[in-house]
Amino acid sequence: MSELLRVEGLSKRFGGVTANEDISFDVRKGEILGVIGPNGAGKSTLFDLITGFQQADSGTVILDGRDITGLRPDRIARMGVGRTFQKLKPFPDLTLLENVMVGALSRTANMHEARDLALEAISFVDLLDKRYAFARELSTGQRKRLEMARAVASGPRLLLMDEVTGGVDQKTIPGLIDLVFALRESGITVLTIEHNMQVMMQVSDRILALQSGKRIAFAKPDEVRKDPLVVDAYLGTVDAA
């Protein structure tokens, strides 16, 4: 498999906190790469650096051979990098369809086309019957799907998802996992942060483990599960359920 993303030596400090320290890894076309680590490990910051929402202090981000380090988020999005956020922020008083159209409008200025792309994405996440519901009326699981649809409507090659199964009830999780696999089936490469270890082991081709801003492991799920640093840093501190 060829390489879609290469991250080299990314570092980011916030005052006295080193959120990311010299992080390197690659993402291959068509793979699902999982990012794990305890709260505060630097996972969301890493996504912010890749997608341009924060500027790295040092290091580079290469997308399909092009250096995208330091580009603005909208430019990176237009180059085919989609993103969902850990803290969901849909427009509460817009409908599901309108929220997803916002994603589609990063790809086309034509309203008609944006609506079609949005409907296609909404159908993909299986929420077509809710398209005229206001975002505020949706359940957490449905809002996670809204986020995914908004990202899908922007036409990504690479999709970064921050805790898609976080904060939803257990019975909602399998449907969201199926969607991650469906994304890959549709040709999208996935970089996903999950708190739930079992989910991560199930979906990931490879796993990047972070602790205190540092990379502590980068390997196949079976190896990462057995890695003493990971067991120490992560499995021991959170419920591994």
* Whole-Å CA distances, 214 to 161, 176, 177, 180, 230: 20, 28, 27, 26, 12
19, 194 Cβ separation under 8 angstroms: no
Nearer to ligand ADP, 12 or 225 (CB): 12
**Measured between alpha carbons, how far is 122 from 134 in angstroms, rounded to an integer?**
14
Closest CA to 146 of 182, 179, 114, 112: 179
- Closest approach, Cβ 113 to ligand ADP, in A, equals 35
| 208 contact, one of Mg ion, ligand ADP, none, CB 5-8 Å limit per kind | none
Beta bridge partners of 217: 209
Q: List residues binding ligand ADP (CB under 6 A).
A: 14, 17, 19, 37, 39-45
- Closest approach, Cβ 41 to ligand ADP, in A, equals 4
| 111 contact, one of ligand ADP, Mg ion, none, CB 5-8 Å limit per kind | none
- Closest approach, Cβ 44 to Mg ion, in A, equals 3
Query: Is 44 an interacting residue with respect to Mg ion (CB under 5 A)?
Result: yes
| 158-162 and 81-84 strand pairing | parallel
- Closest approach, Cβ 93 to Mg ion, in A, equals 27
Nearer to Mg ion, 46 or 118 (CB): 46
| 40 contact, one of Mg ion, ligand ADP, none, CB 5-8 Å limit per kind | ligand ADP
| 207 contact, one of Mg ion, ligand ADP, none, CB 5-8 Å limit per kind | none
Write the DSSP assignment of 54-101 as a string of letters.
S--SEEEEEETTEE-TT--HHHHHHTTEEEE-SS----TTSBHHHHHH
